[in-house]
Amino acid sequence: MSGVSQLARWLLFGEWRAHPMRAVLAVVAIAVGVAMGFAIHLINAAAFNEFNAAVHSLSGQADVQVTSREALFDEDVYPHLARHEGVAVASPVLEIDAARADGQGVLKIVGIDAFRAGYIAPDLMGVPDAAHPYDVLADDAVFLSPAAQAWLGKARGDTIGLRAGTRDLHLRVAGAILRARSGQRLGVMDVGALQWRFHLVGKLSRVDLKLRDGVDRAAFERALAAQLERDYPGRFAVGRPGDANQESRSNNLSRAYRVNLTVLALVALFTGAFLVFSTQALSVLRRRSQFALLRVLGLPRRALLRQVLAEGALLGVLGALLGIAGGYALAAAALALFGGDLGAGYFPGVKPHVAFAPGAALVYFGLGLSVALLGCAAPALEAARARPAIALKSGNDETALARLNRVGPAVVCLALAAACAFAPPVLGLPLFGYLAVALLLVGGIGLMPRLAASAFRLLDRLLRRRGERAPVLALTLARLANAPGQASIALGGVLASFSLMVAMGIMVASFRVSVDDWILHILPADLYVRSSAGGNTGGLGPQEQTAIAGVSGVARSAFLRTRPLSLDPARPNVVLVARDLDPADPGRMLALVGDAVPVPAGRRPVWVSEAMTDLYHVHPGQVFTLPLGGRPEPFFVAGVWRDYANQTGSVVVRLADYRALTGDTTVTDAALWAAPGADAARIEGGLRRLPFGAALQMARPGDIRAMSLRIFDRSFAVTYLLEAIAIGIGLSGVAATFSAQTLARAKEFGMLRHVGVTRRQVLGILAVEGGALTALGVLTGFVLGLVISLILVYVVNPQSFHWTMQLHLPWPLIGSVAGVLVAASVATALVSGRYALSGGPVRAVREDW
């Protein structure tokens, strides 16, 4: 056994010493795939856990929570809850996101009743100065978490400016919160003071209930839910803090984004499998006679199989270990630079810290090892099955690769891919869509030997008919047409990396162009105005609206009001948009998908986003109920519109209908059209001169468009990085494969030199061969990538994010990468050819004498 082990080590390290770069590239490809996948898992797990922990900290020790379908509800229900049988303490809570007066962000403030919250959420209690114990009830005092104090740059005794409507409100920092999670930006006030200061008198966000000892919580929930539904139909939801519904809401918010990033990260790992295959296949071909000699000398077939598998497994182990370490480091760096949502905005105000996950590490280690074993399986079987007598002969490399020329398995993969492309999502995820992409790649690569042979034979016949038979071209086409197996090894890495790059490039470009066109469509006005850059405390009242509409130079004005609505406790809130809209021509303001449906007389129209049709099965012509004004109100679905701003769904109603149902006359945004001869600058000056003009924030459509595209690019920064990695791996794979094949053909070049082919002609053969092979791989990869992009654009994206887009091909990116790939292959072939020809023709063929 020691002799066999020594022989295995000799074979392994001898091969690595001879061709170290091939092994390094294979290890790096696996490491990159594992690192990206593991890092994304760690980032999302950290963000998700921290976000939920922050939410739970606001609930304290409440047994039951009562929330409304609308963001806020009248506090008249509170006495009924407080007196309900089985309730020990009922704590009213009001949560707002207060915009900073300087426009630099939003501070979450929780209003509590200090006499009741101490029994349920003691961590939220403010710690006043000993000289001012009643600051917990003061109407101008706010207590801040350490993270909020650091973010605002404020300490006890300082004042902070916040936006309430169109006016600035100054609050005194009375102290710190008793306990708050690290990184949680939070303020706490007396609930009555918060209602008064922010013009929300009589409004609450939720009521936390602490039950008496011995009360069955499940039975209490059912009884209370039934009573509230009877007294306030369709208005309230009853649940537990941190129950399955709340977990599902925050999980659904970013699940599609996490899964898509993870799948894209595995692209590098998938490409790494082909690099391992290329590395091991070329290694087995080069050592074919050595293995045959070992078989003749008594090495069992099973031992040889284990040897090749062990070589591939070692590549996988090294790559997976490096990937796990790199993934942890990458996750820590990404959390510090981009935050827990990688720039997508799903977990605002959360600063998670990475924590090593042993279970996930084992999964990704297993993935890296499995990919390596999968990549070397075919070469290992070929090495074990080869007959020693035939393998000892030179020039039988193509015979060893004959099994790659089978069309049947590739056709089956393509047929299955076509079937999977039309399959519905599973648990809201496009799992069959991802499977279709993988099957397309496998099927496309499986067809490459037959495609290469057919293409080059056809080209050879065409050139013969035209009489163009230059020696270099004739020799090149003859070899390419009659050695499809070796061509497929070179083309596998090119096809995998380039097709995936094309697919990701088309998907991102299509999405970006679609978002750009959508922004241009929904922003027809000359100027847009609001009172704060974020939060829900800024608003424009009737007097402000009249003043804005009357500014000199304004020909027409339209107003808009947004607010969240809960339609399903297990799903994130949808966005209600109330705006001035003409039911006869809604497409002028909305990006409609399909035709609008005429609204029956006496019905209130609503236009739903594409996400609503998928998540809530709402379609034009139906009657849809919305919770507005404290009761469910029926609306007629008049059409579907495309909304890239709200993945979880949105509904648009007429502003007049919204005001009639809710009595809310405030708006959040104003759109202004300039009169003939006036411009946006003149209108801006008029708005600044209004009494509340200093509180207004104005933006032109071009500014909003530029900002939106910057946010888009930031959200897709990880996708751009993955795309760059795929290109880099592809270039490295091309260089490694062509250099290995060129060096392995030293005897072939020696024979050509013996029969009169010059050194320059041999280099010409290599250059044309490398360029032709890569050009075929690029062309095929483009077609395959285009088909994959169709699945990503029309299947994966709608099933993941519930919106559609238009197809756009980024020709400059595709053309430049294709050119670089072809140039890299030609350059690699020439450099490797010079090295292969450096020994002279006699030395090159000495083994054949």
Residues 654 and 721 in one domain: no
| Strand 605-609 to 631-641 pairing | parallel
Cβ atoms of residues 41 and 357 within 8 Å: yes
pTM, two decimals, is 0.81
End position of a domain, from candidates 651, 668, 699: 699
Q: Which of 66-75, 530-539, 787-796 has the lowest mean pLDDT?
A: 530-539
Residues 32 and 69 in one domain: no
pLDDT for residue 175: 92
443 pLDDT above the threshold of 60: yes
- Give me the number of domains the chain comprises: 4
Measured between alpha carbons, how far is 520 from 495 in angstroms, rounded to an integer?
Answer: 37
End position of a domain, from candidates 400, 422, 457: 400
pLDDT confidence bin for 250, thresholds 50/70/90:
very low
Polymer length of the chain: 849
pLDDT confidence bin for 732, thresholds 50/70/90:
low
Residues 195 and 159 in one domain: yes
Measured between alpha carbons, how far is 10 from 21 in angstroms, rounded to an integer?
Answer: 18
3-state secondary structure 652-707: EEEHHHHHHHHCCCCECEEEEEECCCCCHHHHHHHHHCCCCHHHCEEECHHHHHHH
pLDDT confidence bin for 275, thresholds 50/70/90:
low
Measured between alpha carbons, how far is 457 from 455 in angstroms, rounded to an integer?
Answer: 6
pLDDT confidence bin for 474, thresholds 50/70/90:
confident
Residues 573 and 516 in one domain: no
Residues 453 and 479 in one domain: yes
pLDDT for residue 402: 56
pLDDT confidence bin for 204, thresholds 50/70/90:
very high
pLDDT for residue 244: 42
Residues 35 and 76 in one domain: no
Measured between alpha carbons, how far is 222 from 240 in angstroms, rounded to an integer?
Answer: 12
Tokens at 160, concatenated: 């902070």
Q: What is the pLDDT of residues 525-579, one digit of tens each?
A: 999 999 887 778 888 999 999 999 999 999 999 999 999 998 888 788 899 999 9
pLDDT confidence bin for 249, thresholds 50/70/90:
very low
pLDDT for residue 848: 43
Instruction: Residue 190: name the closest of 134, 113, 125 by CA.
Output: 113
Residues 196 and 230 in one domain: yes
Segments forming the whole domain that contains residue 173: 61-240
As to burial, measured by CB atoms within 10 angstroms (0-12 exposed, 13-18 middle, 19+ buried), residue 389 is exposed
271 pLDDT above the threshold of 60: yes
497 pLDDT above the threshold of 80: no
Residues 445 and 493 in one domain: yes
Neighbours of 218 (CB within 10 A): 8
Q: What is the pLDDT of residues 342-394, one digit of tens each?
A: 555 545 555 667 788 888 899 889 888 887 787 777 676 766 676 665 655 55
pLDDT for residue 202: 92
Residues 114 and 19 in one domain: no
Measured between alpha carbons, how far is 459 from 642 in angstroms, rounded to an integer?
Answer: 48
DSSP-based three-state secondary structure for 101: coil
Q: What is the pLDDT of residues 381-405, one digit of tens each?
A: 766 676 665 655 555 555 545 566 6
Q: What is the pLDDT of residues 111-164, one digit of tens each?
A: 999 889 888 888 888 889 888 888 899 999 999 999 899 999 999 999 999 998
pLDDT for residue 483: 63
Tokens at 756, concatenated: 């009169």
Q: What is the pLDDT of residues 638-659, one digit of tens each?
A: 999 999 888 889 999 999 999 9
- Give the CA angle between residues 198, 200, 202 to the nearest 5°: 145
Instruction: Residue 56: name the closest of 175, 192, 208, 187 by CA.
Output: 208
pLDDT above 90 as % of the chain: 31
Residues 87 and 231 in one domain: yes
Instruction: Residue 486: name the closest of 740, 666, 657 by CA.
Output: 740
Query: Mean pLDDT of all residues in the chain?
Result: 81
Strands ordered across the beta sheet of 554-565: 623-628, 631-641, 605-609, 650-654, 574-579, 554-565, 669-674, 527-530, 697-699
Q: What is the pLDDT of residues 152-203, one digit of tens each?
A: 999 999 999 999 888 889 999 999 998 877 778 899 999 999 999 999 999 9
End position of a domain, from candidates 667, 699, 731: 699
Residue the block writes with tokens 């600035």: 168
Q: Enumerate the β-bridge partners of residue 777.
A: none
Residues 677 and 803 in one domain: no
Residues 19 and 70 in one domain: no
For 119, list phi and psi in degrees, rounded to 5: -85, -20
Residue the block writes with tokens 């050509």: 752
pLDDT confidence bin for 1, thresholds 50/70/90:
very low
335: Cβ contacts below 8 Å, ≥ 6 apart: 43, 46, 47, 352, 353, 354
Residue the block writes with tokens 């699940």: 255
